[in-house]
Structure 1
Amino acid sequence: MKRRVKMFLKATGIAIVSFIAIVLIAHFIGRMINSRTPKGGINESMYVDINGTKQWINIYGQSKDNPVLLYLHGGPGSATSTIDYAFTRKWSDVYTVVTWDQRGCGKSYASSKTDTITADLMIQDGKEMTEFLLGYMDKERITLLGHSWGSLYGANLALKYPEYYEAFIGAGQFIDPMENEKRLYEAAQKWSNGDEEGKAILAKWSPDNEYSMEALNARNATMERYGYGMMKDGTDYNTFTTVLFNPNYTIKDYIGYLRKGSKGFKPYLAFWENELSKLSLLGRYDYKVPYYNINGDMDYQTNFELASEYFDAVNAPQKEMFVMKNATHGLLESRSKEFSEMVHKIAETQK
């Protein structure tokens, strides 16, 4: 019996070691392939001195002659650098795409974590990153594409510093935090009518009480329950292999990412509660740069109806809204090919 146990443990150990070895080899090969620079293009990663901190970016494009696009991830405080090359590289034939881990998250966490995050601090970060890219890429202007929080962030940058930008593209456009939550809560009350379990989840959060992880989890659970979850359609790429073959993350980076856990998000909870409303777009409709939206018509994370009303009120040299039917908030990841086609149409318009 003891011999059988020893043999089993030995076989299990060999299997585990073999599996780890295979994963590490696959990770190394995948990283090497995805780290290649396109002929005539660019593929660079670096830390940039921004507003007293070091913040991480990757620059990827198939031609250095293409216009530069700065991608602003959502959250706030939720970097997408573990997976975003899977969808941002689909734009790299028409844009040189810069992906950026904002202050205190992703690969910028260790070198730029901040105890207090303010609206002014974030706007200054965005200004300095833009100025760096203008100089580094030798461009007079760049394009902004922001998703979710990034769309609110980008719109504020475009409104304040129009001289820096060729165009603004908002995906899952975020307009105003209080009005957004009010509309979600009103919709959720209708969804949960006659559903006692749903009402119990809804009771854990409200527009006036959502600045805790419990409330945020209940809020998201409500949307998931009624078919409006961010990733209701999953992703159109394999998440495991995308993470495994990520050219920008070493095993050490992933260990650091996991150790961070939710620690990096805590300052952003305070930011959401105390500062986010300062960046509201309500009443601010005059843009000096072209204004584009790509929104899902089932998006309640950032309310599609509110975004549509705002779009109608916008004054801009050029404006256009692209609507993805039956899409929720995760439109970049669920339907990245369709999203990319819309980005290409915008790029063509901007020529």
Structure 2
Amino acid sequence: MKKAIKAFLKTLKWFGIILVSLIIILLLVRAIGRMIYNKTPEGGINEEMYIDVNGQQQWINIYGEDRDNPVMLYLHGGPGGATSEMDWKVLRKLAGDYTVVNWDQRGCGKTQIHSPQEGLITSELMQSDIDTVADFILEYMGKDKLTILGHSWGTMYGGDFVIRNPEKVDCIIDLSLSVDKDVTAMMNKGVEDYISGAIDYQTAIDKYGEISFMYYNFTGESSCLDSSEKYRKYFSAVKQIMTDWTVNSEDDRVFAEQFDPDKMTELICSSSETDIKKASHIFGESVLPLTDKYVYSDEEGLFDGDVNPLAAAFFNPYYSITDHIKNNFGEDVYYQPVDPANEKSGDVCGVLLDEFDLSEKTEYKVPVYVLQGSNDDYCGVIKSYFDRINAPDKEFRYIDGGHMSTMLHSEELAQFVHEIKEKVER
């Protein structure tokens, strides 16, 4: 017995030695990589700093290969979706043409780590934030104008800034342009036409797609479902979609088999607030996971692009290990309710997306350039919005993939940006 224990302890000892050695090697490799990536290009700039923005210290990184290049302000998605852990590697692909400023907006990323958000985030505060940051960048870099590069929510945030401040902007480049109200209206129309009998089930699916049914706000005030018959018809369509999706998956088929249109109708038509919440919970637990899997199954994963996100995070010269931990396990302040006393008041994220929506904003005094994923233009809504834009110059280009493809395919993004820079400078 003593020999067995001794052998076990010896094995454990060597396992510990090997594990500690691996950790030391990884940390050493990381340290060397971070040192290399933190170098400043000759004649260029590589600075990170916290600047005062409406009483909060907010993080920016300025990187470029030539200080004489024009300046670009990158606006990440969300709201509150800072990706500075990884996107620095993508943005450096643009550093030959632009001096790129990466900014973690209020309440997220390194800004939230360093200076946690206190109080409610409002649209007025967000407008003041970007105005302050833009003015600082122009003064710091000695420039009269900058280029806006936005992704997803950043296209809405940036579009609002450009429309309000055209004199400060050379052009706006939108990646995965978002116009939420137009998309929502199109999705709602698909369900409404089906429920009213204007079109049959198959026509609704062919014209508007399954996503119209799966993301329809059946508990909202604008819902066309105002009787048990209509609810039953709607939930039956949802079950049919789930059944069609899972025909070849025994594991997923359970979700479809357990979804009961009659039970859902009974709950949602109840006068009990508890029953209505239960119906919403069932929908969220059984329908939405399948929607994420089957609707977006053709989109790229994070590892399908030309930049490895794990490697980018591992060698990030601006993030310590503590920063990574705090960033991934911190509080999401954008999902706090606007009115804590009213659960139906909506959250900060929803309010910002609504108030910064671009659907009715089509007059631009600067050039507008859009790079959009081919699978990220529901029923052509984004292209339709773009066609309504009035601008001195504009261009729309599709790239293969979904919502993240415009960042994942960094080489194509860099080429698109390079062509735009040459066009703007002519």
Show the counterpart of 1:58: 61
- 1:282 counterpart SS class: coil
Counterpart position of 1:274: 351
What corresponds to 1:248 in structure 2? 318
**Aligned residue number for residue 403 of structure 2:** 329
Say whether 1:315 aligns with 2:337: no
Deviation by residue 1:80-110 (Cα, 9 ceiling, x = unmatched): 1111111100010000000111111110013
Alpha-carbon contact 1:54-1:112 (below 8 Å) kept: no
Matches within 5 A, 1:125-274: 125-176=129-180, 178-181=181-184, 183=186, 186-189=208-211, 192=242, 194-195=244-245, 197=252, 200=256, 219=288, 222-226=291-295, 227-229=297-299, 231=301, 234-260=304-330, 262-267=331-336, 270-274=347-351
- Picking from 355, 361, 364, the partner of 1:287 is 364
- Code of the residue aligned with 1:79 in structure 2: it is A
1:77 equivalenced with 2:154 (yes/no): no
Q: Which residue of 1 aligns with 2:196?
A: none
Q: Give the residue type in structure 2 aligned to 1:8.
A: T
Q: Partner of 2:15: helix, strand, or coil?
A: helix
Alignment-mate amino acid for residue 297 of structure 1: S
Partner deviation per Cα, 1:108-140 (whole Å, 9 max, x = no partner)? 013142442122211111111101101111110
Distance in 1 between residues matched to 2:131 and 2:10, nearest whole Å: 62
Q: Aligned partners of 2:166 and 2:312: how far apart in 1?
A: 35
Deviation of residue 222 (structure 1)?
Answer: 1.9
Single out whichever of 250-259 and 123-132 deviates more from structure 2.
250-259
Check conservation: 2:50, 2:57, Cα contact below 8 A. Answer: yes
Letter in 1 for 2:416: M
Summarize deviations over 1:313-334 as a string: whole Å, max 9, x none.
000011111211x311112343
Alpha carbons of 1:48 and 1:68: their partners in 2 closer, same or farther (altered >3 Å)?
Answer: same
Distance in 2 between residues matched to 1:332 and 1:282, nearest whole Å: 21
Alignment CA distance shift 1:342-1:311 (3 Å): same
Is residue 338 of structure 1 aligned with residue 412 of structure 2? Answer: yes
Normalization by structure 1: what TM-score?
0.88
Question: C-alpha separation between the residues in 1 aligned to 2:111 and 2:336?
Answer: 14
1:163 to 1:133, Cα distance in 2 relative to 1, 3 A: same
Q: Distance in 2 between matches of 1:182 and 1:234?
A: 32
Shift of 1:336: 1.0
Contact 1:109 1:264 in 2 (8 A): no
Note if contact 1:48-1:57 (Cα within 8 Å) is conserved in structure 2: yes
Identity between Structure 1 and Structure 2 (%): 36
Aligned partner of residue 350 in structure 1, secondary structure: helix
TM-score with structure 2 length normalisation? 0.73
CA contact (8 A) 2:364 2:389 kept: yes
Answer with 1 or 2: which has the greater Rg. 2
Code of the residue aligned with 2:294 in structure 1: it is R
Q: Is the alpha carbon distance of 1:7 and 1:133 closer, same or farther for their aligned partners in structure 2, counting shifts above 3 Å?
A: same
**Equivalents in 2 of 1:189, 1:275: separation in Å?**
23
Secondary structure of 2:179's aligned partner? coil
Per-residue deviation at 1:272? 2.5
* Offset, 1:284: 1.5
5+ unaligned residues in a row in structure 2: which ranges? 189-207, 213-240, 247-251, 265-276, 338-345
Give the helix-richer structure, 1 or 2.
2
Q: Deviations over 1:131-167 (max 9, x none)?
A: 1101111110100000001111111111111111110
Q: CA deviation at 1:189?
A: 4.5
Q: 1:175-216 deviations in whole A, cap 9, x for unaligned? A: 12x443455685234875623548759999xxxx9x99x959
